[in-house]
Amino acid sequence: MPKVEKYPKASTSKKYRIAKSKIKDGSYYNAAEYLEDVVTDKPNKIKRVHQLAELNMHLRDYVKAEKYYKAVVEKDAEKYPEDNYYYALMLKANGKYEEAKKKFQEFLKMKDAKDYPQLRSLAKSDIAGCDTAISLLASPTKIKVKHEEGVINNPLQDFSPKPLKDNKILFSSLKSDTAINVDLATNDYFTSVFVAEKQGGVWSNKTELPSPPNDPKTHVGNAVFSADGNTIVFTKCDQSLIATMKCKLYKSTKEGNDWSNAEEIKSLNKEEASTTQPAFGKDKDGNTILYFTSNRGKSGDFDLYYAKLNNDGTFEAAQRLGNEVNTAGDELSPYYNAKTNTFYFSSNGHPGFGGLDVFKTVGTPGSFGEVRNLGTPINTGADDLYFALDEKGSKGFLVSNREGSISQRGSTCCDDIWTVIIRGDVFLKGVFVKRDDPTQTPVEGVDASLYKVNGTNFELQTNEVTGTSAFVMPLQRESTYKLNGTKEGFWPSVDNFSVSEDEERDTITRVFFIDPILKKKVKIENVYFQFDKSNVIAFYGTKIDSVYALLTQNPGWIVEVQGHTDSKGTDEYNEKLSQRRAQEVAKFLVKKGLAKERVTAKWFGKKQPAVPNELPDGSDDPEGRAKNRRVEFKIIVDNMQDAPEFEVGGEVVKEVKTGPGFTTSTKKK
């Protein structure tokens, strides 16, 4: 949290003087702390409540700003007419769209609203934004937005993320809280450009770029590389004592393995304005252009501009984008996707959820199409900007101060980098084939049932009977599934698989084996146990599933579960151990749904080894003993004349760790 020096014994008037001094110095966090004390002491001083509301809006503490704007409006709506608009704006930022819409309409009806033409224009757009938000919230996209962990986010400002190759990101970060302490002698006060790498799902190896672009004596950020990687454009910004940034565009070009000195792009900068947030793009003729935002217009709001890059590395004169993009509000953080010819930007002037929203339009300057809001969850009532995609277009980043960001004041003060995962639906495309069929011809008439697995619970998702072609079933990411296939005359097919959160395919193609029942021989695999253990490990769960499915398909059959041990230990101990093993497997079958009367358990201790427990020389044989620590299944058929020959056997595995319902395992070496 910001360090705030307070004087608890100071009078209300002194606290107010301190608060005004902090505002003048641009120390808004400190000013807000003092002014809150002042308003608590003198809640009827409407000017001070108005100032506190403004401060909290500036600090993007929307909840507190709403509280204090409401107090002003309810006390005297005519005293500060503009506060009626800002009260509605804070309601909108907090997601209270119906109430916000009503308050915007009330502001437009106010007599003094005519004195605020820009706010009137914005209010009309905000009303449309409330309607848009209500509509889009009813049909959210399948896009996922996730807060990033690791070195790319900290309690201060993190911004301008750009995806790079090899799981890397280019971004800018503020090292010290400029809203609290303006100390130009401290190098970590300035923003810099960094690169980080994602390893094991976490961002690490944060590395500050050298000079250029970075400069230890000024704020550097918003870096972007040209498509060929030979030019980097970035901003250098100076900050006055009232915390107002004024930025200029700079560039550096690659010269062999080095970069040229930073050069100001004077043709694009305006001395009286801030010019920032560059992004490379293409015009209708395929020429490289540079988009950027600047507040050089008469209104002082930020608009989007572009300039053509000449072959000699210079830029032509900047041109403002049309009013289909620019509004009476701010337009920021341009980004152009060359593959889809789509232009993205953020705006608080187009109808949206509140604050800055991300919008898109297809085309090039002079021929842009309809501007569309990207909807939720990309957009929220907070500020959402710096949207950018990777080369594949399936992942990207944005910057937002939405709830969930690392915050120093309230829940929405500070910007963090968030990952955007753009995924369509994902499907399973599968076929059942006979294992020994080299042509892999689909087996018709298989009853395929897909279950979603949640611990020990199985929820049926879909069921269909296969035909001559592949079957298709919808799936969900971050899910585990079990697919059962049954057909008369065939052994049941049981297969488990998972779909990860990062699955990029829209169709997962799988081949499932289903084998015909042969009259002469059927293999039923044993369940093997660890030394002196009776718990079933995960590897054998599907083996027991197959026995269960076999008995379900043949309701006249019953099973005898036979427990065995190796030779270690006394007869009495091994008798009880084999009993526990047999009963554990029998309970599993009953829990699956097999009637108790169809399952019997028998145990034999160490009396019936499958293989010798010792080597020919009489020494211990661990491998042999492992094969004797087992449960076998004896199937008893109602019509013995039709009974197949059951072959027992299977793989011996070793335990690794415990998981839900089973113990996880790997094959024994």
Domain boundary among 513, 535, 567: 513
- Same domain for 491 and 561, yes or no, is no
Residue 1 has pLDDT above 70, yes or no: no
Within-domain flag for 36: no
Verify that 216 and 278 share a domain, yes or no: yes
Shared-domain flag, residues 219 and 262: yes
Provide mean pLDDT across the span 91-119: 95
Of the listed ranges 61-65, 76-80, 661-665, the one predicted with least confidence: 661-665
| pTM of structure | 0.67
Average pLDDT over residues 610-626: 94
Q: Does residue 280 belong to any structural domain of this protein?
A: yes
Band (pLDDT 50/70/90 cuts) for residue 37 is: very high
Report how far apart, in Å, the C-alpha atoms of 146 and of each of 100, 152, 437, 480 are.
Answer: 28, 13, 45, 21
How far apart CA 551 and CA 543 sit, in angstroms, is 13
Q: pLDDT of 549-606, one tens digit each?
A: 989 988 888 999 999 999 999 999 999 999 999 999 999 999 999 999 999 999 999 9
Specify whether 529 is located in the same domain as 634.
yes
In a domain, 11, yes or no: no
Q: How much of the chain exceeds pLDDT 70, in percent?
A: 90
For residue 5, the model assigns a pLDDT of 55
Strands 202-208, 219-225: pairing kind: unpaired
3-state secondary structure of 588: helix
Q: What are 524-552's pLDDT values in tens digits?
A: 899 999 999 999 988 888 889 999 998 99
CATH code of 82's domain: 1.25.40.10
Which position has the higher pLDDT, 260 or 139? Answer: 260
Can you give the three-state secondary structure of 291-307, one letter per residue?
Answer: EEEECCCCCCCCEEEEE
Give the pLDDT band (50/70/90) at residue 639: low
pLDDT of residue 657: 36
Domain membership of residue 273 (yes or no) is yes
Q: What are phi and psi of 538, to 5 degrees?
A: -60, -35
pLDDT bin (cut points 50, 70, 90) of residue 240 is low
Structure-token pair, residue 537: 């490990």
pLDDT score at 609? 94
- Same structural domain, 303 and 353: yes
How many other β-carbons are positioned within 10 Å of the β-carbon of residue 6?
12
- The whole-number pLDDT of residue 194 equals 94
Q: How confident is the model at residue 155 (pLDDT cuts 50, 70, 90)?
A: confident
In a domain, 29, yes or no: no
State the average pLDDT for the chain.
88
Q: Is 10 part of a structural domain of the chain?
A: no
Most confident of 9-23, 168-182, 468-482, 654-668: 468-482
Query: Which position has the token pair 């298709």?
Result: 472
> What pLDDT sits at residue 241?
42
Q: How confident is the model at residue 28 (pLDDT cuts 50, 70, 90)?
A: confident
- Rg (alpha carbons) of the chain, rounded to whole number: 34
pLDDT tier, 178 (very low <50, low <70, confident <90, very high otherwise): very low
Read off the pLDDT of each residue in 421-435 and give the average, rounded to a whole number. Answer: 90
Stretch 393-413: mean pLDDT: 84
For residues 260 and 357, state if they share a domain.
Answer: yes
Q: Measuring CA to CA, how many Å separate 364 from each of 281, 285, 286, 324?
A: 9, 9, 10, 12
| pLDDT single digits (tens) 191-224 | 899 999 998 888 999 999 999 999 988 999 999 9
Residue 640 clears pLDDT 90, i.e. is over it:
no
Q: Which of 104, 137, 170 is the last residue of a domain?
A: 137
Between CA 668 and CA 302 the distance in angstroms is: 66
- Indicate whether 450 and 548 sit together in one domain: no
Rounded Cα–Cα distance for residues 354 and 375 (Å) = 12
Per-residue pLDDT at 662: 43
Q: Residues 504, 549: one domain?
A: no
Instruction: Identify the CATH number of the domain in which residue 455 sits.
Output: 2.60.40.1120
Is 658's pLDDT higher than 70?
no
Q: Return the structure tokens found at 320.
A: 């403002």
Distances (CA, A) of 113 to 106, 118, 122, 321, 436: 10, 10, 12, 29, 81
Mean pLDDT value of segment 141-158: 83
Q: How confident is the model at residue 30 (pLDDT cuts 50, 70, 90)?
A: confident
Question: Distance between CA atoms of 378 and 645, rounded to whole angstroms?
Answer: 61
Residue whose tokens read 């980098």: 417
Q: Which of 513, 548, 567 is the last residue of a domain?
A: 513
Interatomic CA distance for residues 446 and 465, integer angstroms: 5
Same domain, 253 and 177: yes
Please state the domain count of the chain.
4
What is the torsion angle, in degrees rounded to the nearest 10, for the CA atoms of residue 138, residue 143, residue 148 and residue 152? -110
At residue 181, the pLDDT reads 38
Percentage of residues in the chain having pLDDT higher than 90: 66
260-314 per-position pLDDT tens digit: 999 999 999 998 899 999 999 999 999 999 999 999 977 788 999 999 999 999 9
Same domain for 111 and 211? no
Cα dihedral: 207, 212, 218, 224 (round 10): -80
pLDDT digits (tens, 9 = 90+) for 497-526: 999 877 878 899 999 999 988 665 667 899
* CATH label of the domain that carries residue 617: 3.30.1330.60
pLDDT at 252 over 50: yes
User: If you ran DSSP here, which 8-state letter would residue 516 be given?
Assistant: B
Q: How confident is the model at residue 644 (pLDDT cuts 50, 70, 90)?
A: low
Q: What is the amino acid identity at position 536? A: V
* 68 occurs within a structural domain: yes
Average pLDDT over residues 234-241: 79
Long-range contacts of 394-397 (CB under 8 A, 24+ apart): 394/421, 394/422, 394/423, 394/504, 395/163, 395/419, 395/420, 395/421, 395/422, 396/163, 396/420, 396/422, 397/148, 397/161, 397/162, 397/163, 397/169
Contact between 95 and 354 under an 8 Å Cβ cutoff? The reply is yes
Query: Are 432 and 374 in the same domain?
Result: no
Domain coverage including residue 630: 522-667
The pLDDT of residue 187: 46
| Same domain (yes/no): 94, 176 | no
- Residue 9, domain member (yes or no): no
pLDDT band at residue 189 using 50, 70 and 90 as cut-offs: low
